[in-house]
Amino acid sequence: KAGVTQTPRYLIKTRGQQVTLSCSPISGHRSVSWYQQTPGQGLQFLFEYFSETQRNKGNFPGRFSGRQFSNSRSEMNVSTLELGDSALYLCASSAGRGPMNTEAFFGQGTRLTVV
Amino acid sequence: SQQGEEDPQALSIQEGENATMNCSYKTSINNLQWYRQNSGRGLVHLILIRSNEREKHSGRLRVTLDTSKKSSSLLITASRAADTASYFCATDNQAGTALIFGKGTTLSVSS
């Protein structure tokens, strides 16, 4: 069974640009969550999607957005990039109704560097 | 916001020794999970313990949960160099739709 796939693995962008990250969950998983990891703030929840609906959003500005497609693949977008957006972005998929009742499977992450 | 807080922040031990990490959280939970992360890579699920369970084992891992103290501990017995990683506890938000992570414990096991 293929794991969670995130693309691209590494990305360098300039301040003010926008970026789109992609996540393909494990087949059959309908819950997809996104997390931002930085040395200072640790792992912070961005948003969670289930069957194309955003069920929850973390405390991030509106520049961070996401969506989920009918095949459960998800994308997140960050517009008007700031230096502080440099981070490891992790995607996780879960079976069942969501990430807390069963284990979450994480991708390897996308390392975003904003210069 | 951070729900769980791991303690200690860093732990260095020798191979063969046991490693104990603690996690405290603030609000009531449905379940608590532990994850491992190797050097800036994805997280790997270790164990899930439900709020009505007190102890759970998986191989060399033993997790306890004390809901009255809002705390959990992860014990790794007979540590190996390959156990070197960061360990995170994760609790849930009210809706069960998000994992809320602590800042983690960095474990270093030397041979």
Q: Taking CB atoms and an 8 Å limit, are A101 and B96 in contact across chains? A: yes
- Does B60 score more than 70 pLDDT? yes
Q: Taking CB atoms and an 8 Å limit, are A42 and B101 in contact across chains? A: yes
- Low-confidence stretches of chain A (pLDDT < 50) are none
- Phi first, then psi: what are they for A39, rounded to 5°? -60, -35
Question: What confidence tens digit (pLDDT) does each residue in A52-67 have?
Answer: 999 999 999 999 999 9
CA B78 to each of CA A107, B17, B48: distance values in angstroms, whole numbers, following the listed order: 28, 5, 21
B16 inside 8 A of chain A by CB:
no
Residues B22, B47, B40, B15, Cα dihedral to 10°: 70
The chain B residue lying nearest A94, using CA atoms, is B97
Question: What confidence tens digit (pLDDT) does each residue in B63-111 have?
Answer: 999 999 999 999 999 999 999 999 999 998 777 778 889 889 999 999 9
Q: Nearest-CA distance from B73 to chain A in Å?
A: 18
Task: Supply the pLDDT for residue B30.
Answer: 85
The tokens of B93 are what?
A: 């938000």
Contact between B99 and B89 (Cβ < 8 Å): no
Produce one character per residue of A6-27: b if its CB has 16 or more CB atoms within 10 Å, e if not.
beeeeeebeeeeebebebbbbe
Contact between B87 and B104 (Cβ < 8 Å): yes
Q: Taking CB atoms and an 8 Å limit, are B98 and A100 in contact across chains? A: yes
Q: Nearest-CA distance from A12 to chain B in Å?
A: 17
CA B71 to each of CA A5, A12, B101, B105: distance values in angstroms, whole numbers, following the listed order: 33, 40, 14, 15
- Select from B105, B95, B37, B62 the least CA-distant residue to A55: B95
Task: Supply the pLDDT for residue A1.
Answer: 67
Q: Which of B41, B43, B56 to mutate to test the interface with A (most CBs of A within 10 A)?
A: B43
- Select from A87, A85, A84 the least CA-distant residue to A109: A87
Looking at chain A from residue 62 to 101, which residues have their Cβ under 8 Å from any Cβ of chain B? 88, 90, 92, 97-101
Q: Nearest-CA distance from A52 to chain B in Å?
A: 14
